[in-house]
Amino acid sequence: MSVTWIIEPDVCAAYCDSLVAEIASQGHVHKTIPAHYTSLDWGDTSRYYDEFAPKGSCVVCHASFQFTIQVAEDELWAPGVYGSRDTTDCTQYFPRFEDCLLNRDHEIIAVSELHGRGDLLFKSFGVDDRIFIRPNSGTKSFAGRLFNRSELNTGLSRSTMSPHALVVVSRPKSICREWRFVVADRCVIAASMYKDREGTRMSPDVSQEAFEFAAVVAARDFQPDRVWVLDTCETAEGEMKVVEINGFSSSSWYCCSVTDVVTAVSRVAVDDWKRSMAHLGEP
C-alpha cells in the first residue's frame, strides 16, 4: 500500500530532492505544498490542501507547524500528522526524563511573571548575568536562547506572546555536541549530528555512546507518539543528556538517512491507517 507524503520544501530544503526521489523509489506518492499555500491565514480560508489527497487517505505530512496543526485539527487523513499533541510540551515530558534531562534545574512560569521575578530568576539560574529561556510549548513560538537582564525586561515580557504562555527558565549549560534521532515504535531509526562546540555541524556520524543513550531513552514507557524526534547532547562534563523532544512532522531530519526514515515511517503510517479504518468500520 502506498502512502501520500505531503512535504513543504522550506522545512526540508537540504534534502527535499532526495526525499522526493526516495518516496517515489519506495512506491509512495508525494505532494509538494506550493509557496502560496504557506502564506495563507488558515483560520480565514477554505482548506485548500484537501485537494492533495482524498479524505480518509493514508497521509504523512512533513511541513511547518502552521500547516500540520491545521491538518491535525481537520482530521482529513490518517495518520496525517505525527506530533500535533501537547505531549511535546515541556510540562508533559520533563517529568518523564528528569533523571537524564539537560535542563533538570528549571522553573516553568508564565511570560507575565518574567519581569516581576527577574531578580529572583537571575539569582537562581544566572551564569555571567544570563539565563536560558525557551517556550514550554512544543510548537516553539521562539527559539530557546540565553537572555541578559536588559533583554528580559524589554523582550519576552513585552513580546507578542500571550502573557499566559508558559516558558522554561534554566541555568545556561556548556554543551560539546548535539544529535537528533528519529524514533519509531520505541526504536531509533535514523540519527544525525547537528552541532558541536564550534557551532552548527551537520553530519551523519553519531558516536556509539550517543546512539546507545538515545536507544535507551527511545525505549522508555513514555512515548509522545508512535513516531517522534529526540534531541540529545554531550555536556562539557562528558555526560549524555536529553535536550528536548519534538514532533516528527514539523522537525528537520538534518543528515538522517532519508531512506531509513521513509521506510520506517511509511510502515507505521500504513499500520495506523489500517487501525483507523478498522475503528471506522471500513473494510
Examine residue 189 and state whether it is found in any structural domain, yes or no: yes
Q: What was the pLDDT predicted at 58?
A: 98
Q: What was the pLDDT predicted at 50?
A: 83
**Shared-domain flag, residues 159 and 179:** no
Examine residue 254 and state whether it is found in any structural domain, yes or no: no
Whether the Cβ atoms of residue 255 and residue 192 lie closer than 8 Å to each other: yes
Question: Tens digit of pLDDT for each residue in 201-229?
Answer: 899 989 999 999 999 999 999 999 999 99
The answer, as to whether pTM is greater than 0.85, is: yes
How many residues does this entry show for the chain?
A: 283
**Shared-domain flag, residues 27 and 68:** yes
pLDDT band at 157 (very low <50, low <70, confident <90, very high): low
SS3 183: strand
Question: Tens digit of pLDDT for each residue in 174-191?
Answer: 999 999 999 999 999 999
Examine residue 64 and state whether it is found in any structural domain, yes or no: yes
Q: What is the CATH number of the domain that holds 179?
A: 3.30.470.20
Examine residue 97 and state whether it is found in any structural domain, yes or no: no
Highest mean pLDDT: which range of 62-66, 197-201, 275-279: 62-66
Grid cell of 105 as nine digits: 534545574
**Shared-domain flag, residues 178 and 161:** no
| Distance from C-alpha of 211 to C-alpha of 35, rounded to nearest angstrom | 36
Task: Tell me the backbone φ, ψ of residue 256, rounded to 5 degrees.
Answer: -60, 150
DSSP 253: -
| Distance from C-alpha of 189 to C-alpha of 257, rounded to nearest angstrom | 9
**Shared-domain flag, residues 218 and 272:** no
Q: What was the pLDDT predicted at 155?
A: 61
How many structural domains comprise the chain? 3
Examine residue 99 and state whether it is found in any structural domain, yes or no: no
Q: List the beta bridge partners of residue 145.
A: 133
**Shared-domain flag, residues 196 and 222:** yes
What's the domain range around 265? 4-83+260-280
Q: What is the CATH number of the domain that holds 163?
A: 3.30.1490
Question: Tens digit of pLDDT for each residue in 20-45?
Answer: 999 999 999 999 998 776 655 555 45
Mean of the pLDDT values across residues 127-139? 94
Examine residue 114 and state whether it is found in any structural domain, yes or no: yes
Question: Tens digit of pLDDT for each residue in 48-85?
Answer: 788 899 999 999 999 999 889 889 988 999 999 999 77
**Shared-domain flag, residues 271 and 240:** no
| Distance from C-alpha of 220 to C-alpha of 197, rounded to nearest angstrom | 29
Q: What was the pLDDT predicted at 245?
A: 97
Q: What was the pLDDT predicted at 40?
A: 56
pLDDT band at 122 (very low <50, low <70, confident <90, very high): very high
Q: What was the pLDDT predicted at 181?
A: 98
Mean of the pLDDT values across residues 230-249? 97
Examine residue 253 and state whether it is found in any structural domain, yes or no: no
Question: Average per-residue pLDDT in the chain?
Answer: 91
**Shared-domain flag, residues 178 and 231:** yes
Examine residue 69 and state whether it is found in any structural domain, yes or no: yes
Q: What was the pLDDT predicted at 198?
A: 76
**Shared-domain flag, residues 163 and 184:** no
